[in-house]
């Protein structure tokens, strides 16, 4: 996509935005941004590097749609990369934020809502006996790793190839997501001594984990895993993989950390670990729990959580941790989850979409596999369901880029990378999914 101006403005249900800024196109804004923001973006995948063209600028969103600065309305299947379980600008969440903001945006003093929110999380996720609120998934993971090391007195961490756990130094070893997209398996600026403390194993390969645990288990502080991998595209865990990790961690005295920043409250009204009956020692949450506000959490067994300052020797702090606006949004989100029970509907919409896409690709004679789980999906341009990073790397990323751009021209916004999950929200309906499938059928037929 050269420029975004081939997208035609359409009539829409979004309220026009009043802005005091002069009207600009996405291309103009990107030019300005590139002068003052590295790469023009505040998070690398937003740059469209792997799909080509210039990134979009949006001014508003409502339900399943966003509106670009050009006035083009897009049906959004990226959903801010996961937080928007109920779509954009869900009124209960907006109202909760407005009310909280009118009472003060930050105090650095405890507030009643953070207690209520922490109680709510612990009730919905019984493996979390205690929880500490932070502002991003990265921070939650960083805290979980420090806690695991502080609790066990050990140094090493085992992570999985292609899993992404935020940008804390030690997790930028064979990471997924934006790093995969950029074709780099690690980051400059990460000390070799930090990387040396991290073992990397193929996802879904329990034998490799057991081998490592046999040899190095006594040095292992934690095994950290995305219980459903979402940062190399969607890869569900193989049968027995998560239970096997639980056993391996327990056998060697390491902690099992489930990073549920994507999966927490995405596939059910709790974590994926709880849903499959595998209890981790620590869990990290982010994205959905803040309803689009910067809110994340680390929680787990009380015995471990009590090691955190001020009770214990593991330091962790944050000026804006448990921020009143973020917690108000989180409480509204948990309330919606309890009241609306959106998961069967998300599952049905996700299945309809995945099956429709696979059928359309089959008709077009393409090498394609759309993976789906609940409302998560990835359109992989590869012949069979990927099971790990090695199989994901066989995908035709050019074909994905082509698909992405043509779907954008037809009014659908997907994650701008092959190595990401797409999200169906409770704000999508059958009509959105059917229109998406019809557009995909045309697109894929043209690619066959």
Ligand X SMILES: Cc1ncc(COP(=O)(O)O)c(C=O)c1O
Binding of ligand X by 226 (CB under 6 A):
yes
Binding of ligand X by 136 (CB under 6 A):
yes
Of 49 and 210, which has the nearer Cβ to ligand X?
49
For residue 345, the number of C-alpha atoms closer than 13 Å in the C-beta half-sphere is 14
Binding of ligand X by 436 (CB under 6 A):
no
Smallest gap from Cβ 242 to ligand X, in A, equals 15
Binding of ligand X by 415 (CB under 6 A):
no
Binding of ligand X by 138 (CB under 6 A):
yes
* Annotated catalytic residue within 161, 164, 281, 432: 164
Binding mask 186-225 for ligand X (x = CB under 6 A): ----------------------------------------
Binding of ligand X by 391 (CB under 6 A):
no
Q: Parallel, antiparallel, or unpaired: how do β-strands 73-76 and 412-413 relate? A: parallel
Binding of ligand X by 117 (CB under 6 A):
no
- What length does the chain have? 448
C-alpha–C-alpha distance, residues 132 and 117, integer Å: 11
**Could you say which DSSP state residue 310 is in?**
T
Binding of ligand X by 83 (CB under 6 A):
no
Residues from 341 through 380 that contact ligand X (CB under 6 A) = none
Binding of ligand X by 150 (CB under 6 A):
no
Binding of ligand X by 168 (CB under 6 A):
no
Among the candidate windows 136-144, 239-247, 297-305, 434-442, which touches ligand X by CB under 6 A? 136-144
Among 166, 268, 300, 415, binds ligand X (CB under 6 A): 166
* Annotated catalytic residue within 259, 281, 388, 432: 259
Smallest gap from Cβ 3 to ligand X, in A, equals 28
Please report the beta strands in 202-278, taking only residues with DSSP state E, as ranges in sequence order: 220-225, 255-259
Q: Is the dihedral of CA 22, 25, 30, 31 positive or negative?
A: negative
Among 56, 69, 157, 261, binds ligand X (CB under 6 A): 261
Q: Residue 308: beta bridge partners?
A: 314
Of 179 and 262, which has the nearer Cβ to ligand X?
262
| Residue (of 216, 215, 240, 230) closest to 157 by Cα position | 216
C-alpha–C-alpha distance, residues 388 and 303, integer Å: 34
Among the candidate windows 32-40, 60-68, 256-264, 297-305, which touches ligand X by CB under 6 A? 256-264
* Annotated catalytic residue within 287, 388, 400, 413: 287
Of 64 and 261, which has the nearer Cβ to ligand X?
261
Question: Any catalytic annotation for residue 164?
Answer: yes
Question: Any catalytic annotation for residue 287?
Answer: yes
C-alpha–C-alpha distance, residues 340 and 185, integer Å: 40
For the residues of 164-194, what is the DSSP string, one character each?
---S-GGG-BS--THHHHTT-SB-TT--HHH
Question: Any catalytic annotation for residue 259?
Answer: yes
Residues from 271 through 310 that contact ligand X (CB under 6 A) = 286, 296
For the residues of 2-42, what is the DSSP string, one character each?
--STTSPP---SSPPPP-SSPP--HHHHHHHHHHHSGGG-S
| Cβ-defined contacts of 26-29 (< 8 Å, 24+) | 26/54, 26/55, 26/56, 26/57, 26/68, 26/69, 26/70, 27/3, 27/54, 29/57, 29/69
Among the candidate windows 52-60, 131-139, 188-196, 426-434, which touches ligand X by CB under 6 A? 131-139
Binding of ligand X by 170 (CB under 6 A):
no
Q: What are phi and psi of 67, to 5 degrees?
A: -120, 130
Binding of ligand X by 85 (CB under 6 A):
no
Smallest gap from Cβ 404 to ligand X, in A, equals 19
Of 58 and 258, which has the nearer Cβ to ligand X?
258
Binding of ligand X by 262 (CB under 6 A):
yes
Among 117, 151, 164, 241, binds ligand X (CB under 6 A): 164
Smallest gap from Cβ 134 to ligand X, in A, equals 9
What is the dihedral angle through the alpha carbons of 161, 165, 167, 169, rounded to the nearest 10 degrees?
-60
Binding of ligand X by 178 (CB under 6 A):
no
C-alpha–C-alpha distance, residues 14 and 264, integer Å: 29
In this structure, are residues 194 and 170 in contact, taking their beta carbons and an 8 Å threshold? Answer: yes
Binding of ligand X by 419 (CB under 6 A):
no
In this structure, are residues 260 and 227 in contact, taking their beta carbons and an 8 Å threshold? Answer: yes
| Residue (of 49, 13, 54, 8) closest to 31 by Cα position | 54
For the residues of 53-79, what is the DSSP string, one character each?
SPPP-EEEEEBTEEEETTS-EEEESSG
Among the candidate windows 55-63, 194-202, 258-266, 385-393, which touches ligand X by CB under 6 A? 258-266
Binding of ligand X by 154 (CB under 6 A):
no
Q: Which residue has the CB atom at the shortest distance from ligand X?
A: 137
Q: Is 315 exposed, middle or buried (0-12, 13-18, 19+ CB in 10 A)?
A: exposed
Q: What are phi and psi of 405, to 5 degrees?
A: -65, -40
Task: Give the residues lining the site for ligand X (CB under 6 A).
Answer: 81, 136-138, 141, 164-166, 226, 230-231, 259, 261-262, 286, 296
Active site residues: 164, 259, 287
């Amino acid at each position: 996509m050269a420029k975004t101006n081939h997208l035609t403005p359409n009539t829409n249900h979004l309220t026009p935005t009043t802005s005091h800024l002069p009207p600009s196109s996405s291309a103009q804004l990107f030019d300005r941004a590139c002068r003052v923001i590295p790469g023009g973006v505040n998070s690398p995948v937003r740059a469209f590097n792997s799909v080509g063209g210039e990134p979009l600028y949006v001014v508003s969103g409502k339900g399943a749609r966003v509106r670009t600065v050009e006035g083009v309305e897009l049906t959004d299947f990226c959903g801010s990369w996961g937080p928007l379980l109920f779509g954009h600008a869900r009124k209960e969440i907006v109202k909760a934020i407005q009310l909280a903001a009118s009472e003060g945006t930050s105090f650095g003093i405890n507030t009643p809502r953070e207690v209520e929110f922490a109680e709510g999380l612990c009730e919905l996720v019984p493996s979390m006996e205690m929880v500490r609120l932070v502002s991003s998934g990265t921070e939650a993971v960083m805290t979980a790793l420090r806690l695991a090391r502080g609790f066990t007195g050990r140094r090493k961490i085992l992570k999985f190839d292609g899993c992404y756990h935020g940008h804390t130094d030690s997790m930028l070893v064979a990471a997924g997501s934006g790093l995969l997209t950029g074709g780099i398996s690690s980051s400059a600026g990460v000390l070799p001594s930090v990387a040396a403390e991290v073992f990397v194993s193929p996802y879904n390969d329990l034998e490799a984990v057991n081998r490592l645990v046999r040899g190095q288990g006594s040095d292992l502080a934690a095994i950290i895993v995305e219980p459903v991998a979402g940062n190399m595209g969607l890869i569900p865990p193989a049968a027995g993989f998560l239970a096997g990790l639980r056993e391996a961690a327990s056998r060697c005295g390491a902690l099992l950390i489930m990073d549920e920043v994507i999966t927490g409250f995405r596939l059910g009204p709790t974590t994926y670990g709880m849903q499959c009956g595998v209890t981790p020692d620590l869990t990290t949450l982010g994205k959905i729990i803040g309803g689009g506000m910067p809110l994340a959490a680390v929680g787990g067994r009380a015995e471990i959580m009590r090691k955190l300052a001020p009770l214990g020797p593991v330091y962790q702090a944050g000026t804006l941790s448990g921020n009143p606006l973020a917690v108000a949004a989180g409480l509204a989100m948990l309330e919606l989850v309890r009241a609306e029970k959106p998961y069967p509907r998300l599952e049905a919409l996700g299945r309809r979409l995945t099956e429709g896409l696979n059928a359309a690709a089959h008709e077009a004679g393409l090498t394609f596999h759309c993976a789906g789980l609940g409302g998560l999906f990835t359109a992989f341009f590869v012949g069979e369901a990927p099971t790990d990073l090695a199989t994901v790397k066989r995908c035709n990323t050019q074909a994905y880029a082509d698909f992405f751009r043509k779907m954008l021209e037809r009014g659908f916004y997907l994650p701008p990378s092959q190595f990401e999950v797409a999200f169906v929200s409770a704000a999508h309906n059958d009509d959105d999914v059917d229109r998406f499938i019809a557009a995909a059928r045309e697109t894929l037929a043209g690619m066959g």
